[in-house]
Amino acid sequence: MATGTGKWYSKFFQTALNKEVNLVTATIDTLAITLHTSAYDFTNGQDTHDYQNDATSELGTATGYTAGGKTLSSVTWAYSAGANLWILDAADVTWSSSTITARYAVIADTSNGNSTTNPLIACIDFGTDVVSQGGDFSITFDVNGIAKLTVS
């Protein structure tokens, strides 16, 4: 099972303000999660990567994983007034009967259907490679949401 803290891509806010991403509850865009190897350098790309084609080293099609990842379900973007937080959340994700080695999970808005125009949203760093060998590769999102934005 993989867990980790979701961190925003800084360019996400620019694409959201440009109306390239819609997180309004009634009409939320399609968000997908992809898995990436340790060759992807999120640390150096967090401030510069803006679209899905920048998130390199995605796993190829392998046992239990299909390139392009999975569509997230039960996506919510909600404000917690008491905590002054905007919170992105979704249902946990599992790739069943898989043989996978991944270091990162990347979330993007895939509504455009083109990696050069699909805005990146957040990246989860597992902290180390996480491996499944013919079993489930599951990502359990933090109980307080995938990623949070403090309003002050």
Give how many domains the chain has, as a whole number. 1
Q: Give the 3-state secondary structure of residue 43.
A: helix
* CA-based radius of gyration for the chain: 15
Q: What is the Cα–Cα distance from 126 to 5, expressed in whole angstroms?
A: 8
Q: Give the 3-state secondary structure of residue 45.
A: helix
Tokens representing 106 are 């990347």
Sign of CA dihedral 16, 18, 21, 22: positive
pTM to 2 decimal places? 0.94
- Strand-strand pairing, 147-150 and 70-71: unpaired
Its domain, for residue 82, covers 5-150
Q: What is the Cα–Cα distance from 80 to 149, expressed in whole angstroms?
A: 10
Written as tens digits, the pLDDT of the chain (152 aa) is 677 779 999 999 999 999 999 988 778 899 999 999 999 999 999 999 999 999 999 998 878 999 999 999 999 999 999 999 999 999 999 999 999 999 999 999 999 999 999 999 999 999 999 999 999 999 999 888 999 999 98
